[in-house]
Each structure stands twice: as structure tokens, then as C-alpha cells.
A = this chain, B = another copy of it.
């Protein structure tokens, strides 16, 4: 059984804060501050350019990829770290369309994170070959998979509601129809028992700043199924993905396997934080994390529904088809979330009307859930959100 008291001690949670927004930005792993400091002073400061070899900066993207790979059921050597999630979506989709040249439909859903859709739109415009991004409702995806679909591009967990797609079933359906499957694991990696190899996914992508706690703007990752690794064409063909980066050839030759998904110079400082953050997963069972997350979220739903009849549950009630987050709708959702934050309960708001709470057992337990539900009930019951200051929109919501 995972020792969540031990994992909780690995994170810094500010005094007086109940942090239910790890689904947007995980908290600081205490070890990350020292690891990054060491990277700056002992590695960059003392080794200078020699750090690429002697401190292993050059091979770090793949090493970190393998560490993440163990959390998502990936084969060794099939995950690469770098860039941002949007960039990795572009690489995955470009590769998939290239591997399925006879088809023109990219199938996604309205619950996908918008940046995935935007990157697809940008790629399709660049390709100029008549591809079409077809966006259906999440529940209509399965029926929309047919012989016209080149690739499905889906986020496993809906960022708004936590609704969960069945990765294995939809991937099987896609394959049966001759389509490839690309999965965005932004809200899955570190939250669910993901098994990309078992689900037979073709590509997967994800970020590391949510449940993997690597810090704001931490690098992303891409998984390429080994069966595609030698043939996938990295549309973003940078020198680090070249077969011989330091030969300085004038022509691109893709590196072997997953190496070709590297693009430019890797973000060494950010990788130090990610490496430290991944240490928190040693000895942690994702089955335990998942079970505890469902338990905490179920408790929260129960307490909120009892205490706040004005709020409408926007997430699946059944924890088994819900990710690690719960959302409620209210016309004054934005102001309510601002009032909550003022009281130290940090979740977030997603337009137009959803307040969202994440349940991350590594550092959140039953006491926080009960505390958050109590404060939410006080705010709703007393209309404490009804102050002008709570309606002032910030840049980032």
C-alpha cells in the first residue's frame, strides 16, 4: 500500500492553503528546489559547456522519457521529453497523417483541450491537402470512427468535467477502421493507471506540470509506439533528432527510433526540476493513487451536494469513468472561485461556468476535502462571492 503520509511530506503546500488545483499546476516538490540549485551552480556554473557530456544533459530527455514511460505503461525507449505539449501534438499528428496518407479526416471532440484542436488546424492549413478536423461531442466519437478517419486525436480526460474516454476501446475501434490513435494524457499521466502499450495507442503526448509536478511550463513528452518509431516522420526535424547531430551534415537524416522526436536544444534547467519531481513516484502504486483519488472525489461530491444545492455537478458521478477532478456549474462560477481562493481553497475556473477541483492523493487527503467542502458551503450559503472584487477577471483564469 502506498504511504501517502510519506509522499505528502515531499511537497511544499503553503500554510493555510487547501490545494485542489494540481490538475492545472502541481505544487513544488521540496527536492526540486535543491536539485535545480545544484544544476545551476555545480553543473552549469562549474562544468559550463562540459555539462552536456559529464552531467548527462544530452541524454537526459530520453532518460526522463523512460521514467515517465513507467508511469504510462510505455515500452522502454519509446518516450521522449521536450518542448511543449502543443508542439508534441503537432509532431504526433503530422506523423500519423503521414503514416495514413489515403485518409483526410482528423477526428476529435469538443471536450479536447483547445490547443490540441488549434495545433491540428494549423497543421492542416500547412499541409494544404484537404484534411479536415471533425469535432464531435465526446459521446459521439465512437460512432464517428469510420473508414474516412486518418487519426483520432483525443484527450483521455476531459479538462472541463473529468469525463474519461475508454482509450483501449476507442483505439481498437480506430484500428479496425484503419485509423491511427493519438492520445493526449495531460490529465492522465500521474493520475490514472495509463497503459499506452496495452491500449495499443499509436502516439501519446502529455505534459509534466500537472500531476507530475515538474513546475510551470515544464517540458512535455511524446510516446511513439515501437511499431512506428522507425518510420514516423518528425515534421519538426531539428538537429537534436538527427542521426548524427554533431556531424553537422547539410541534410536531415532522422535519428533512430524515438530519438527523432527531439527537436532543438533541450531545456536543461527545467529537466532538473522534472527529474526531482519524478522521484516522488518511487514506491508509489498508481492503482493506489487512482483508488484514493476516486474516494476523495466521491466524498467531495457527496459533501458539496449536501451543502450546496445551488451547484450542479458537471462531472460523471461514477468515479470509474471520471478522471481525477470534479467540476460543478454555477452562473457565478468565476466569482465563487475567486472567493474560495481568498479563503485559501485553490481550485480553478473554466469558462463559461465551471469551478474545477483536482484530487491528488500524493499530497491531498480527507481533511482537505472536508475543509474545502465546508468553506465552499459557507461561500455559497452566505453568497459571500457576491462582492465586486471577486468578479474582476484576471489574465489567466
Q: List the B side residues contacting A59 at CB < 8 Å.
A: 395
Copies in the complex: 2
Chain A 265-293, CB-CB to B under 8 Å as 1, else 0, gives 11111110100000000000000000000
Is A371 an interface position by the 8 A CB rule? no
A367 on the interface (CB 8 Å rule)? Answer: no
Q: Roughly how many angstroms separate A282 CA and B248 CA in the complex, as a whole number? A: 35
A266 touches B217 (CB 8 A): yes
Knowing A118-B242, A217-B268, A351-B248 are in contact, say whether A84-B44 is a contact too (CB < 8 A). no
Tell me the bound Cα distance from A16 to B86 in angstroms: 43
Identity of the chain B residue whose Cβ is nearest the Cβ of A271 in the assembled complex? B217
Number of interface residues of A (CB under 8 A): 93
Within 8 A of B (CB), among A109-124: 110, 113-115, 117-119, 121-123
Instruction: Check if A270 sits within 8 Å of B217, measured CB to CB.
Output: yes
**Which residues of A (31-88) have their CB < 8 Å from a CB of B?**
32-33, 36-37, 40-41, 44-46, 48-53, 57-59, 83-87
Contact with B along A236-267 (1 / 0, CB 8 A): 11111010001111111000000000011111
Chain B positions within 8 Å of A216 at CB level: 44, 51-52, 57, 265, 268-269
- Asked if A122 and B247 make an inter-chain contact with CB atoms under 8 angstroms apart, the answer reads no
CA distance A135 to B332 in the complex (A): 59
Stretch at the interface among A125-133, A140-148, A323-331, A374-382: A125-133
User: Is A188 close to B, CB under 8 A?
Assistant: no
In the complex, A306 has a CB within 8 A of chain B: no
* CB neighbours of A33 from chain B (8 A): 37, 40-41, 45
Known: A121-B251, A122-B235, A270-B270. 18 other contacts (CB 8 A): A25-B48, A25-B51, A27-B44, A28-B45, A36-B40, A52-B396, A84-B263, A86-B239, A113-B239, A114-B250, A118-B239, A119-B238, A121-B252, A123-B126, A128-B128, A217-B269, A246-B395, A267-B270
